[in-house]
């Protein structure tokens, strides 16, 4: 069966669009680069591929267009006629023929130019040939531009045609314009057809579906027909004529008995008789509409006669079987406004078309195939036992109650009523615990504990928990007793407090040693090794030594004595003092000359060491050795000492010590300049 | 309302704390704080992370098997409220937790007591070896105890005035 649904026809591109599409596709999907220096074969192949590709694509696209459109000979005659009515068959065919011609032309162009390209000797020539080929193809397409546009319009219109199934049970509604066909349609189906008081509101066919007896029926609404000779009919009327002519359906001829459509009954009857040839072999019904405006019994004699005439015609179409209810089957009165008689009309129409179709089927040869498939199985009775219907007793009771007692049922008090009594929605909050099922009703209002001390109460729930706890505590008691015994054993071998003291002292001493060593290690490089005699911090005193020795438990007095005896000042103290007060004098010199030992003794004193140094310089002076007098020598010594002083402050070992530990100290070579330039930070 | 356990560190998660993560296989991971959550996201195994309960249990630092653990068990079936039972349970819970706490403490103490013995031996050894740092060997020979030596302090007596007692 050829599809009657034209919605799936692909879009027909316009001429320009088609050219754009194909050319851009060629550009994208074929190789784009070729060099002048490549072999001729390659160049030829390159361009031939392009021409071939373009030609094939055009051909394919055009073939698609041609194939998608329906062939008017191959589809249902109803549709072919409809399409003819709407678009003119010849025009349609012509457009498709032009597209076909274009397709053939393009394939010819492609083959011709490919043949020419085989003999192309340079890149430039091949390129020109390719350009010519593509240009010609595009010109061809440009030529069929109008046809493509027409086909696109046709396609769009076809897509919107109503999907009428020519083989389905159909009811056709026809009649003069404005009689009420669309309103009837809206009443029986879900199709929302426009109904307006002016004529020719419906301009094309509309399809709706209705159900009757579990079967689906198609209902087709047509535009109104005027009483005119066939040739003068316009497209809209031709649509309805086509539908009438081709569709095998029940026909409802609508009659407006009130004449409010603008046509008298006589005119409508005339129309009826002019198209009655189309009603052959179709179950026909006359429907008198708008009886709310003009009741049937109030019709004039003439009108009644006309109606009877039409009825007679309709009765001719009745099958032999339906003769009994002749009147009811053929003539209907209804009003779509008040819904009178609408359903009877519909039902009868459905029944008649069904009956008609069944009859036809029965007469045709195909029936034998169908009949074989119908079979109703009736179970055979196997014994005489009665098997009545089974209804559960509760249901029977309920029914009995419902029947006898129309008395008001006892209304249970609802929660809602309770709420309303106690102040309404915002005030009253229903007790959710009211219906709890608990062992004792007093417990209903209890706050159930869920958490205690970081534990979930529910995890511990057990009916014999207290007994278990008692046992646990007993066990624990026993265990603790055992543990106490163990503890006393372990604690035996402990140190005495004096020993602990000694241990602490040892540890402290060790720590101190380690710390000292660490300091020494870290500062070893940068610390100047200052000789011990310039002991500024007074680390090395006899008092200290004495303290340390007595800390160890020894008697320091002997050691202190010895140390002191070796240091001179203690012995010659008094004398020195007097000498110092006088300042220079021959006495000092004399004393010096007495012995070498005294030289040393005079050097150190037990008074402040800083003063000592300056004194020493004065005392040592011995004239001679290149100096004219003591004063000069003192000055010389002073100068000498001055130079040493700075050296010692720089912690340099001697004159020749030019070591610079850090050639580029970071703080002098990095950072932003506070003032000045980088070259002179 | 339930107090849950953190998946990572096994501490209790109180309401309003932590994050719950539901994986695609519908397994729920609860975390007590972002520390555990972040560790989880880093795919760390709680059994290898020192401060978690899982590690401590696995490595025997904390008590693992005990009868007190059987009292607390998650039941999936809801039970009907029973006032008498609930009262009993509420009395029992503090006792159980006390016993549990003491047992855990004892477990740890027992574990650490071995170290105590070692430490004592070590101290004694150190004392014996290094006593010479605070006590001169000659003094040690006389007084063989391992204590600090008695220091000899020379006290200089000030010239006391022989003031006759005033009458």
Tell me the nearest-neighbour CA distance from B107 into chain A, angstroms: 11
Considering chain A, what percentage of its residues have pLDDT values greater than 90? Answer: 24
- Best of B13, B80, B91, B92 to disrupt the A interface (most A CBs within 10 Å) is B92
Give whichever of A111-120, A168-177, A593-602 has the largest mean pLDDT.
A111-120
Residue A476 confidence (pLDDT):
94
Same domain, A314 and A201: yes
Q: Which residues of A touch B2 (CB under 8 A)?
A: 450, 456, 458
Please give the backbone phi and psi of residue A308, each rounded to the nearest 5 degrees, phi first.
-65, -35
Q: Which residues of A touch B85 (CB under 8 A)?
A: 461-463, 465
When CB atoms are compared, the residue of B1, B126, B149 closest to A503 is: B126
Same domain, A327 and A304: yes
When CB atoms are compared, the residue of B68, B82, B133 closest to A506 is: B133
A291 found inside a domain: yes
Same domain, A201 and A286: yes
pLDDT in tens, A127-166: 999 999 999 999 999 999 999 999 999 999 888 888 888 8
Taking an 8 Å cut-off on Cβ atoms, the answer to whether B126 and A462 are in contact is no
Instruction: Give the domain-ending residue among A158, A181, A203.
Output: A158
Residue pair A437/A429 in contact by the 8 Å Cβ criterion: no
b or e along A125-164 (b: 16 or more beta carbons within 10 Å of the residue's beta carbon)? bbbebbeebbebbbebbeebeebbebbbebbeebeebeeb
The H-or-E segment that residue B114 falls in is helix B83-130
Q: What average pLDDT does the segment A240-244 reach?
A: 83
Same domain, A295 and A326: yes
Please give the backbone phi and psi of residue A174, each rounded to the nearest 5 degrees, phi first.
-140, 170
- At A190, the pLDDT band (50, 70, 90 cuts) reads confident
Joined tokens for residue A457 = 């109460």
Examine the pLDDT at A618 and tell me if it is beyond 70: no
Instruction: Give the domain-ending residue among A336, A366, A396.
Output: A366
Instruction: Give the domain-ending residue among A323, A339, A366.
Output: A366
Residue A621 confidence (pLDDT):
63
The better pLDDT of the pair A407, A394 is held by A394
**CB within 8 Å of A199: residues ≥ 6 apart:** A177, A178, A224, A261, A262
pLDDT in tens, B13-69: 999 999 999 999 999 999 999 999 999 999 999 999 999 999 999 999 999 999 999
Tell me the nearest-neighbour CA distance from B163 into chain A, angstroms: 34
Q: Which residues of B touch A459 (CB under 8 A)?
A: 72-75
- At B144, the pLDDT band (50, 70, 90 cuts) reads confident
**Least confident segment among A23-37, A104-118, A327-341:** A327-341
Joined tokens for residue A597 = 């030992």
- At A106, the pLDDT band (50, 70, 90 cuts) reads very high
- Best of B69, B72, B151, B155 to disrupt the A interface (most A CBs within 10 Å) is B151
Same domain, A205 and A253: yes
Same domain, A79 and A188: no
When CB atoms are compared, the residue of B97, B102, B131 closest to A453 is: B97
| Closest to A333 in 3D by CA, of A278, A388, A254, A216 | A254
- Counted across chains A and B, CB pairs separated by less than 8 A come out at 154
Same domain, A248 and A337: yes
Tell me the nearest-neighbour CA distance from B95 into chain A, angstroms: 8
d(CA A13, CA A23): 14
With CA atoms as reference, the chain A residue closest to B125 would be A503
Same domain, A255 and A320: yes
With CA atoms as reference, the chain A residue closest to B120 would be A494
Q: Which residues of B touch A456 (CB under 8 A)?
A: 2-3, 72, 74
The H-or-E segment that residue A217 falls in is strand A215-221
* Residue A455, helix vs strand vs coil: strand
Q: Which residues of A touch B128 (CB under 8 A)?
A: none
DSSP per position, A278-339: GGTTS-EEEEEE-TTTS-GGG--HHHHHHHHHHHHHHHHTS-GGGGTTHHHHHEEE-BTTTT
When CB atoms are compared, the residue of A442, A469, A483 closest to B92 is: A469
d(CA B59, CA B50): 10
Same domain, A129 and A26: yes
Examine the pLDDT at B154 and tell me if it is beyond 90: no
**Least confident segment among A21-25, A232-236, A585-589:** A585-589
| Closest to A134 in 3D by CA, of A166, A164, A112 | A112
- At A457, the pLDDT band (50, 70, 90 cuts) reads very high
Q: What average pLDDT does the segment A236-242 reach?
A: 83
Residue A329 confidence (pLDDT):
67
Whether chain B has a CB inside 8 Å of the CB on A475: the answer is: yes
pLDDT in tens, A271-286: 888 888 888 788 888 8
Q: Which residues of A touch B147 (CB under 8 A)?
A: 498-499, 501-502
Examine the pLDDT at A644 and tell me if it is beyond 80: yes
Q: What average pLDDT does the segment A450-468 reach?
A: 93
Whether chain B has a CB inside 8 Å of the CB on A369: the answer is: no
Tell me the pLDDT of chain B averaged across its residues.
90
Q: What average pLDDT does the segment A105-110 reach?
A: 94
Whether chain B has a CB inside 8 Å of the CB on A485: the answer is: no
A60 found inside a domain: yes
Same domain, A187 and A46: no
Same domain, A77 and A27: yes
**Least confident segment among A41-50, A239-248, A413-422, B76-85:** A239-248
- At A574, the pLDDT band (50, 70, 90 cuts) reads low
Residue A586 confidence (pLDDT):
46
A421 found inside a domain: no
A390 found inside a domain: no
Examine the pLDDT at A323 and tell me if it is beyond 60: no
A215 found inside a domain: yes
pLDDT in tens, B113-131: 889 889 999 999 999 999 9
d(CA A170, CA A208): 10
Same domain, A347 and A212: yes
Whether chain B has a CB inside 8 Å of the CB on A301: the answer is: no
A284 found inside a domain: yes
- The count of structural domains within chain A is 2
| Closest to B61 in 3D by CA, of B107, B118, B13, B2 | B107
Residue A200 confidence (pLDDT):
80
A624 found inside a domain: no
CATH of the domain at A62: 1.20.120.1190
Q: Which residues of A touch B127 (CB under 8 A)?
A: 495, 499, 502-503, 506
Taking an 8 Å cut-off on Cβ atoms, the answer to whether B147 and A498 are in contact is yes
Examine the pLDDT at A578 and tell me if it is beyond 50: no
Kindly report the pTM of this predicted structure.
0.44
Taking an 8 Å cut-off on Cβ atoms, the answer to whether B93 and A475 are in contact is no
- At B109, the pLDDT band (50, 70, 90 cuts) reads very high
- Best of B88, B117, B125, B145 to disrupt the A interface (most A CBs within 10 Å) is B88
Residue range of the domain that includes A211: 163-366
Residue A615 confidence (pLDDT):
47
d(CA B35, CA B31): 9
The interface pTM score, or ipTM, of the predicted complex is 0.82
Whether chain B has a CB inside 8 Å of the CB on A415: the answer is: no
Examine the pLDDT at A327 and tell me if it is beyond 80: no
- Best of A437, A543, A553 to disrupt the B interface (most B CBs within 10 Å) is A553
d(CA A391, CA A397): 10
Tell me the nearest-neighbour CA distance from A611 into chain B, angstroms: 32
d(CA A529, CA A139): 107
| Closest to A185 in 3D by CA, of A171, A198, A197 | A171
Residue B46 confidence (pLDDT):
97
CATH of the domain at A356: 3.40.50.300
pLDDT in tens, A486-502: 777 766 668 888 899 99
Residue B38 confidence (pLDDT):
97
Taking an 8 Å cut-off on Cβ atoms, the answer to whether A476 and B102 are in contact is yes
A281 found inside a domain: yes
Taking an 8 Å cut-off on Cβ atoms, the answer to whether A443 and B89 are in contact is no
Examine the pLDDT at A592 and tell me if it is beyond 60: no
Q: Which residues of B touch A473 (CB under 8 A)?
A: 95, 99
Quick one: DSSP state of residue B134?
T
Residue A573 confidence (pLDDT):
52
């Amino acid at each position: 069966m050829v599809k009657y649904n034209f919605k799936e026809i692909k879009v027909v591109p316009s001429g320009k669009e088609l050219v754009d599409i194909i050319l851009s596709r060629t550009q994208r999907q074929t190789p784009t680069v070729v060099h002048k220096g490549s072999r001729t074969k390659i160049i030829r192949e390159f361009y031939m591929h392009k021409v071939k590709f373009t030609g094939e694509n055009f051909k394919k696209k055009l073939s698609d267009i041609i194939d998608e459109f329906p062939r008017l000979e191959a589809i249902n005659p109803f549709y072919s006629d409809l399409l003819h009515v709407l678009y003119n068959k010849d025009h349609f065919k012509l457009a498709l023929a032009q597209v076909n011609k274009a397709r053939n032309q393009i394939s010819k162009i492609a083959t011709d130019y490919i043949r020419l390209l085989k003999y192309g000797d340079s890149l430039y020539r091949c390129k020109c040939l390719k350009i010519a080929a593509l240009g010609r193809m595009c010109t061809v397409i440009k030529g069929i531009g109008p046809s493509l546009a027409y086909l696109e319009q046709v396609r769009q219109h076809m897509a919107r045609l109503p999907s009428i199934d020519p083989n389905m049970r159909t009811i056709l509604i026809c009649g003069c314009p404005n009689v009420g066909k669309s309103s009837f349609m809206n009443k029986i189906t879900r199709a929302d057809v426009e109904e307006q008081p002016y004529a020719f509101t419906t301009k094309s066919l509309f399809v709706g579906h209705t159900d009757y007896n579990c079967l689906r029926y198609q209902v087709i609404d047509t535009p109104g027909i005027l009483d005119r000779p066939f040739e003068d009919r316009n497209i809209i009327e031709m649509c309805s004529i086509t539908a009438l002519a081709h569709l095998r359906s029940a026909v409802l001829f609508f009659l407006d008995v009130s004449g409010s459509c603008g046509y008298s009954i006589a005119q409508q009857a005339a129309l009826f008789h002019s198209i009655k040839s189309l009603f052959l072999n179709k179950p026909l019904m006359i429907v008198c509409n708008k009886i709310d405006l003009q009741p049937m019994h109030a019709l004039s004699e003439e009108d009644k006669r006309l109606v009877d005439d039409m009825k007679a015609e309709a009765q001719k179409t009745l099958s032999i079987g339906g003769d009994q209810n002749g009147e009811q089957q053929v003539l209907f009165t209804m009003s779509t406004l008040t819904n009178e008689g609408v359903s009877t009309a519909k039902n009868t129409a459905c029944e008649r078309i069904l009956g008609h179709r069944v009859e036809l089927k029965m007469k045709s040869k195909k029936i034998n195939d169908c009949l074989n498939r119908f079979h109703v199985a009736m179970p055979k009775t196997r014994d005489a036992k009665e098997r009545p219907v089974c209804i559960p007793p509760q249901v029977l009771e309920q029914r009995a109650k419902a029947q006898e007692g129309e008395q008001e049922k006892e209304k249970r008090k609802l929660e809602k009523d309770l709420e309303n009594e106690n102040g309404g929605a915002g005030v009253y909050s229903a007790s959710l615990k009211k219906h709890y099922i608990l062992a004792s009703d007093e417990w209903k209002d209890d706050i159930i504990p869920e958490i205690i001390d970081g534990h979930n109460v529910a995890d511990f729930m057990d009916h014999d928990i207290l007994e278990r706890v008692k046992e646990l505590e007993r066990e624990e008691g026993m265990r603790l007793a055992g543990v106490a015994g163990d503890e006393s054993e372990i604690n035996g071998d402990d140190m005495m407090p004096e020993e602990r003291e000694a241990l602490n002292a040892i540890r402290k001493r060790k720590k101190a040693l380690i710390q000292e060593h660490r300091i020494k290690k870290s500062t070893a490089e940068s610390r100047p090794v200052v000789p011990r005699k310039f002991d500024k911090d007074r680390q090395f005193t006899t008092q200290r030594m004495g303290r340390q020795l007595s800390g160890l438990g020894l008697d320091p007095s002997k050691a202190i004595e010895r140390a002191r005896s070796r240091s001179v000042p203690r012995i010659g103290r008094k004398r020195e003092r007097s000498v110092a007060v006088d300042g220079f004098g021959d006495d000092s010199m004399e004393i010096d000359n007495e012995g070498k030992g005294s030289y040393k003794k005079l050097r150190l004193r037990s008074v402040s060491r800083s003063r000592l140094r300056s004194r020493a310089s004065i005392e040592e002076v011995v004239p001679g050795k290149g100096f004219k007098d003591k004063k000069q020598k003192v000055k010389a010594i002073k100068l000498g000492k001055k130079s040493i002083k700075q050296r010692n402050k720089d912690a340099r070992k001697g004159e020749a010590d030019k070591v610079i530990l850090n050639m580029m100290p970071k703080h002098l070579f990095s950072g932003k300049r506070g003032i000045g330039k980088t070259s002179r930070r | 309302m339930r107090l849950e356990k953190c998946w990572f560190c096994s501490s209790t998660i109180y309401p309003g704390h932590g994050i719950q993560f539901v994986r695609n296989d519908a397994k729920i991971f609860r975390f007590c704080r972002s520390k555990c959550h972040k560790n989880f996201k880093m795919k760390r195994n709680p059994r290898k992370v020192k401060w978690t309960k899982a590690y401590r249990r696995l490595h025997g630092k904390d008590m693992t098997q005990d009868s007190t653990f059987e009292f607390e068990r998650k039941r999936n079936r809801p039970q009907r409220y029973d006032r008498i039972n609930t009262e009993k349970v509420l009395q029992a819970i503090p006792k159980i937790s006390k016993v549990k706490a003491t047992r855990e403490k004892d477990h740890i103490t027992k574990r650490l007591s071995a170290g105590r013995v070692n430490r004592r031996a070590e101290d004694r050894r150190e004392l014996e070896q290094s006593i010479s740092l605070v006590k001169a060997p000659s003094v040690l020979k006389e007084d063989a105890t391992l204590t600090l030596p008695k220091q000899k302090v020379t006290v200089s007596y000030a010239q006391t005035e022989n003031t006759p007692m005033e009458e």
